[in-house]
Amino acid sequence: MPDTPAPSPDSIMQLGLGFWASKALLSAIELGLFTELAKGPADQPTLARKFNLHDRSARDFLDTLVALKMLNRDGGGASTAAAIYSNTPETDRFLDRNKPSYMGGILEMAGTRLYPFWGSLTEALHTGKPQNEIKSGDNLFAALYSDPARLRQFLAGMTGLSLGAAHAIAAKFPWKNYKSFIDIGAAQGAVPVQLALAHPHLKGGNFDLPIVGPIYKDYIRTFSLSDRLAFHPGDFFKDPLPPADVYIMGHILHDWNLDKKKALLAKCCATLPPGGALIVYEALIDDDRRTNAFGLLMSLNMLIETTGGFDYSGADAAGWMKAAGFKSTRVEHLCGPDSMVIGIK
Ligand SMILES: C[S@@+](CC[C@H](N)C(=O)[O-])C[C@H]1O[C@@H](n2cnc3c(N)ncnc32)[C@H](O)[C@@H]1O
């Protein structure tokens, strides 16, 4: 009989103290470290001055990011040469605020909002109640959007969350068969922009709360897409949906309880033309609820952020879509933890 290796505590310790590494990265993003280093490599005294890092913190903070593979370093450490820090190819591409590929918006929000709210996870597990700005029982979007800086941060955060999925939806859905789309609750507009860039024949729009309009329009303008991408102000629970061949809902259904999820699906189905399509994309939980940890954690994030929201599997969504009147459904993986469910009317 081969000896069974003795259990090791390594994975437990790594996960249990994972918030140390997470917060080091979130602080670096909050400071704008990667945006600064995208201009060129820099030494420790320069970075310490620029970001007001204390003598006790600077070297350990920067070398921690090297060890976590978020920065490169020449010199320093055991070498006698002075340490020169630079971005890795990944941090340069995705964490430089000046690039359209910037994905740090969601991580900026994670650092300033979600990190403290997740400190009350145990309370949420006991009470089933949100732990964010709406702890007193308000609507998430009303609370978030009452502060202009928080509104902008949230909408840009959605771009960071959805940019990978946006590229994949542009590549994997048969857009040549359709002429128009409405992204219902598109926030800043990451998905509409990628669809319009990849498919010049498409016209589209964002149906979202009126307050989102100016921020969406600013974003669209930076890609010179204002002539093909419209804004439709409205409330998806009260107002009619603008007509289109394809509707998209990304991270919408997970915000709401089951009755509201079903009401939104029924409204989409009722308004689409025959043959029209609905694309629902999220970090869908695997049907067996064992492997997509990100999707399951996202559902706990909805516990913290909303009064009734939860994430779900592809099979769950397909079942609700069929009940709403869609003739056929299929689930396709997009990228990372994200998948889409397509319903055809
Ligand atoms: C979680 S965000 C998802 C954003 C985007 N679809 C994505 O996945 O990146 C939810 C979006 O729904 C919008 N929204 C919330 N309640 C709404 C309502 N009642 N009517 C229309 N849009 C709403 C918000 O403004 C926000 O843009």
3-state DSSP call for residue 207?
Answer: strand
Look up the domain containing 321 and give its range: 105-344
Question: In the structure, what pLDDT confidence band is assigned to residue 138 with cuts at 50, 70 and 90?
Answer: low
Tell me, in angstroms, the distance from the centre of ligand 1 to residue 19's CA.
28
Tell me, in angstroms, the distance from the centre of ligand 1 to residue 158's CA.
9
Count of structural domains within the chain: 2
Residue 204 shares a structural domain with residue 263: yes
2 occurs within a structural domain: no
1 occurs within a structural domain: no
> What's 110's domain CATH number?
3.40.50.150
Burial 112-123 (b: 16+ CB within 10 A, else e): ebbeebbebeee
DSSP 3-state percent helix, strand, coil across the chain (nearest 5): 50, 15, 35
Residue 148 has φ and ψ, to the nearest 5°, of -55, -35
The residues carrying an active-site annotation are 254
Indicate if the pLDDT at residue 1 is higher than 70. no
Indicate if the pLDDT at residue 139 is higher than 80. no
User: How much is the pTM?
Assistant: 0.93
100 occurs within a structural domain: no
99 occurs within a structural domain: no
> What's 27's domain CATH number?
1.10.10.10
Tell me, in angstroms, the distance from the centre of ligand 1 to residue 30's CA.
24
**Which residues sit with their C-beta closer than 6 Å to ligand 1?**
141, 158, 161-162, 185-187, 190, 208-209, 212, 235-237, 250-252, 255
Contact criterion met (CB below 8 Å) for 167 and 194: yes
158 occurs within a structural domain: yes
116 Cβ contact list (under 8 Å, min separation 6): none
For atom 19 of ligand 1, which residue has the closest CA?
235
207 occurs within a structural domain: yes
H or E segment and range at residue 45: helix 44-51
Tens digit of pLDDT for each residue in 157-185? 999 899 999 999 999 999 999 999 999 99
Percentage of residues in the chain having pLDDT higher than 90: 91
> Which residue among 71, 94, 117 closes a domain?
94
Residue 88 shares a structural domain with residue 119: no
Residues in a beta bridge with 42: 85
H or E segment and range at residue 16: helix 10-16
d(CA 343, CA 280): 8
- Name the strands in the sheet holding 71-74, side by side, starting at the edge strand that comes first in the sequence: 42-43, 84-87, 71-74
Residue 239 shares a structural domain with residue 321: yes
Indicate if the pLDDT at residue 24 is higher than 70. yes
Contact criterion met (CB below 8 Å) for 203 and 182: no
Report the candidate in 98, 39, 45, 37 with the shortest Cα–Cα distance to residue 72: 37
Q: How far is CA 215 from the centre of its chain?
A: 17
Residue 236 shares a structural domain with residue 298: yes
Indicate if the pLDDT at residue 155 is higher than 80. yes
In the predicted model, what is the mean pLDDT of residues 223-233? 97
Residue 197 shares a structural domain with residue 128: yes
Residue 78 shares a structural domain with residue 109: no
CA distances from 288 to 76, 205, 214, 284 (A): 48, 35, 41, 11
76 occurs within a structural domain: yes
3 occurs within a structural domain: no
> 109, 252, 256, 261: which to mutate for ligand 1, most atoms within 8 A of CB?
252
Q: Tokens standing for 32?
A: 């704008």
What beta strand segments (E) does the chain contain?
A: 42-43, 71-74, 84-87, 180-184, 203-208, 229-233, 246-250, 277-282, 328-335, 338-344
- Ligand 1 atom showing the smallest separation from residue 212 Cα: 25
Residue 238 shares a structural domain with residue 109: yes
- Residue the block writes with tokens 């669209």: 220
Tens digit of pLDDT for each residue in 180-192? 999 999 999 999 9
